[in-house]
Amino acid sequence: MLDGKVAIITGAGRGIGAAAARLFALEGAAVIVSDLDAEQAEETAGAIRAQGGNAAVAVVVGDVTDPAFPAQLIKATLDTFNSLDIIVNNAGYTWDGVIQNMSDKQWSAMLDVHLTAPFRILREASHYIRDAAKKEQAAFGQAKARKVINVSSVTGVYGNAGQVNYAAGKAGITGVTKTLAKEWGRYNVQVNCVCYGFIDTRLTAAKEQGGITERHGEQIALGVPEQMRQMAPLLIPLGRPGTPEEAAGPMLFLASSLSNYVSGHVLEVTGGRVG
């Protein structure tokens, strides 16, 4: 479904991003695996190579919140594969707290990674996308379809206690999605957003299993309280969390030609839970 396509996936070292990278590669895409953690990024790239087939893969390590990183990412993609067809803005993490206990650093960190970083990557990519589309329009009458998939969360749609910063960032990226769908329609770019519910990753693991990420000079514990994990399946009509592989499936649809007339859409992937 993605033969001949070149895809960037941020946060592809683990979880949903890694599952999407493997799936895209299986479907024929050349994949740029981007992650802050070099070891995890290489692990994903190794898994793609081990799948066999002809899919190409390259690793670009860096922090999406670094203002210099978008230029590095887009340049590395074009230098390696000489094209860019799909961008998946997936990188992110959580840093929870009720509002009275939340610092400015916590607030800004979530906006930086979930909203500002995708904006900068898309702004940097716009130079290539616009130029390529104009050349294709002049030569063939229409630009080829390109795809942007922004990853959000139902927290950004419905809110979640203890996550006002995360909710703000994830709500913001849906606004970016709808706006860019209008701006880039003329270039035949479909821009969509996937809002995930409870997917089994280290962000939704039990606190003792979620691990620690070091950001902004702080050690941030990932995961959710065990009581919340036990309650979650009771609120999901399908009765269980989703897997990263199940989360990657809708991304494949939005990255493929099957979605060539779908743009500006926010797709909730929740196992049936609403709200």
Catalytic residues: 166
Distances (CA, A) of 37 to 10, 27, 150: 11, 25, 21
The tokens describing 254, both together, are: 């939005």
Q: Evaluate whether 198 touches 274 at the Cβ level (below 8 Å).
A: no
Half-sphere exposure of 214 (CA within 13 A, CB side): 2
Residues in the chain: 275
Q: CA dist 49 to 33, 82, 163, 268, Å?
A: 12, 20, 37, 31
Interacting residues of 256 by C-beta distance below 8 A, sequence separation 6+: 1, 2, 27
Q: How many CB atoms lie within 10 A of CB 253?
A: 16
